Amino acid sequence: MPERPDFQAKQYAFAAHIRDPENVAAPEGIEDRRMAIYRKLFFNNLLNLLATMFPVMRKIHSEERWRGMIRQFMQHHKAETPYFLELPEEFLSFLQDEYQPEPSDHPFLLELAHYEYVELALSVSTAENDMHGIEPDGDLLAEIPVKSDLTWAFAYRYPVHRISPEFLPSEPDAEPVYLAIYRGSNDKVRFLELNAAMAALLDAIENNTENRNGEALIRALAEKIAYPDMQAFLKHGEHALVEMRDLEIITGTRRAD
């Protein structure tokens, strides 16, 4: 491999020192007073930017611990993008693959980071719902319910949506925590906690390759879980569909071909 031009070698040496000043010497010929300005500027900008992107994570950690995590990020992670709005994905990737946890770390750390990343990613997503052929007020039982492209559903082991400095669970919940994270027409990102049946219904709507109408989806789900009262389950399912449409988790219905 040919040697880098001198100016480029200087840039790499400068960046390497900024990322890890305790272990990588500063480039020769630069006054330390000047380097100190850059060390502080780069680190504090990243520290504060990630704090705004992962606000709950920042709140539940001490200043020292948070600074240590950011320093690890700078030391070990090679980002694939220069864009600020994609920085949360880079930080999540670091936590998943490179972060060296400490015994005192919260067991829900990675799940909380994922949840906060999803909130931000959805808020800046350029996805749009194609409303061609969609009836916003269609019959949710007789026609085919349609999930919004701005609804993302996940199952977590911990109730990540409730974590705060006052609530730091040490054990996962007995059952999965199902969350629909969605962005409405007002562009606000919200979440809805789903029970297992509602989560399964939303998943069935998203993966409705057989183009079943709402009633058929609910009946199939009732049979799958062996629910003893079909009529009661149909009623519960209809209420769930109405609630999800009111929240814009479902955009409406379309007719079967």
Whether residues 21 and 74 share a domain: the answer is yes
* pLDDT score recorded for residue 203: 98
* pLDDT score recorded for residue 14: 61
* pLDDT score recorded for residue 20: 67
* pLDDT score recorded for residue 169: 97
Look up the CATH number of the domain holding residue 158.
3.90.930
* pLDDT score recorded for residue 21: 66
Whether residues 148 and 82 share a domain: the answer is no
For the chain, the domain total comes to: 2
Residue 31 belongs to some domain of the structure? yes
Look up the CATH number of the domain holding residue 80.
1.10.150
Residue 236 belongs to some domain of the structure? yes
Q: Which domain holds residue 154?
A: 144-254
In degrees and rounded to multiples of 5, residue 90 shows phi and psi of -65, -40
* pLDDT score recorded for residue 186: 94
Residue 126 belongs to some domain of the structure? no
* pLDDT score recorded for residue 83: 76
* pLDDT score recorded for residue 221: 97
Cα torsion 149, 203, 169, 95 to 10°: value is -60
Whether residues 70 and 148 share a domain: the answer is no
Burial of 218 (0-12, 13-18, 19+ CB in 10 A): buried
Low-confidence ranges of the chain (pLDDT < 70): 1-18, 20-21, 23-27, 29, 35, 257
